[in-house]
Amino acid sequence: MTHMLTCPCGWTVISPQGENDVKKHIVIHLQDTHPGTSMTEEEIKRIIKFI
């Protein structure tokens, strides 16, 4: 199943490789684009969509 995750800023990652892959990308995005902002596992899971 393809996982899609959209950051509140509008940045989106789509990965066919699953949940762990989109989590990895959002963590990198947060560090790069929103330094000082972190999301918990729960928050990340809540915004992951399956397409």
d(CA 3, CA 32): 21
> In a 3-state reduction of DSSP, which class is residue 30?
helix
Mark 11-40 with x for binding to Zn ion (rule: CB under 5 A) and - for no binding. Answer: x---------------------x-------
6 binds Zn ion (CB under 5 A): no
Shortest distance (Å) from residue 33 CB to Zn ion: 5
DSSP strand E in 1-51: where?
3-6, 12-15, 48-50
- What is the DSSP secondary structure assignment for residue 10, as one 8-state letter? S
Q: Which is nearer to Zn ion, 2 or 37 (CB)?
A: 37
Contacting residues toward Zn ion, per CB under 5 A? 7, 9, 11, 33
